[in-house]
Amino acid sequence: MIAVDATHLKSKYKGVMFVANAFDGNRNICTLAFGIRDLEMDVSWHWFFTKLHEAIGECPNLVIIFDRNVSIENVWNKAAKSYSIAEFDCHFSKIKRKEHVAQYLEEAGLHKWSRADMDGHRYNVTTTNIAKSINSVLRFARMLPLVHLIGEIINLLMKWFTKRRELGLNCITTLCPNFGEKKLRNRLEDAARMNVVKLNNAQFNDLDGGVDGLIDLTNNSCSCRKFQLEQLPCNHVVVVCHFLKVNVYSKASRYYTQKTWMNAYSDSI
């Protein structure tokens, strides 16, 4: 998942800085690319994405998130963040009371903004906040001449890479400590209060007093859809793994592993 954004430079010569960011497995901002052009135009965006593609190559299931500057109020945000189609339809029915808004969102493509309709791996990221955070960190550097701005960017990334590399080398957990490991441990505690009903050799039903989950181990899916969307075992999958005495860590995406985390910072800037 890559979030892209653009921000204006504030030096004497102005210009626009493009930035592409992702999250590493520990949920830290991992900057992939910067680009600087004179204006934010279609040709500039085309240039930036061309260079980004050259840098990262072909990435199966890649999801790119960008800000279309659409003002969506709370009820619409709930629709965007719904996990299940049924929950989404419930919220979207309220949006349809404003026909022009619903028409715009449908024409844009529900799969582009609705978590429930998304078929790619976006790891539960729904906004470009990570790109905007980088712009905020560099708010003073953007006032500097271009050469000095690039120097500030390099220094910032070197500091981040060094700190995270050292943290990763001292990591003794299977998953990244501050995100995957922490979430999974919390879910292991919650799973102790849930009951499992075996339907057949592949399917199980979890009863947690709230949202029940139908787990199918043949395709690694859960009806709550958090497992598929986060690529991290949800409460229902955790309790089934415990029931079957299966290593729950094996069900987490390798994206969350300490090894993959370290690969992100293996090279120097």
The confidence score (pLDDT) of residue 110 equals 65
Examine the domain organization and report whether 139 and 160 are in the same domain. yes
Distance CA 149, CA 11 (A): 10
Task: State whether 170 and 135 are in the same domain.
Answer: yes
Q: In this predicted model, what pLDDT tens digit does every residue of 199-254 receive, in sequence order? A: 887 788 877 666 678 888 888 888 888 888 888 998 889 888 888 888 999 999 88
Rounded Cα distance between 163 and 49, Å, is: 29
pTM, whole model, 2 decimals?
0.68
Q: Which of 112, 80, 116 is nearest to 95 (CA)?
A: 80
What does pLDDT average to over the chain?
A: 79
Region for residue 226 given its phi and psi (left: phi exceeds 0; alpha: psi -120 to 50; beta: otherwise)? alpha
User: Is the pLDDT confidence value at 48 over 80?
Assistant: yes
**DSSP-derived pairing of the beta strands 2-8 and 64-66:** parallel
Q: What are phi and psi of 23, to 5 degrees?
A: -100, 140
Query: Are both 92 and 128 inside the same structural domain?
Result: no
- Nearest one of 218, 211, 203, 202 to 235, comparing CA atoms: 211
> Which residues pair with residue 95 across a beta bridge?
none
Question: Is 269 domain-assigned?
Answer: no
Q: Are residues 210 and 244 in the same domain?
A: yes
Q: Is residue 268 a part of any domain in this protein?
A: no
Among residues of the chain, what percentage have pLDDT more than 90?
7
pLDDT per position as a tens digit, 108-121: 666 666 666 666 55
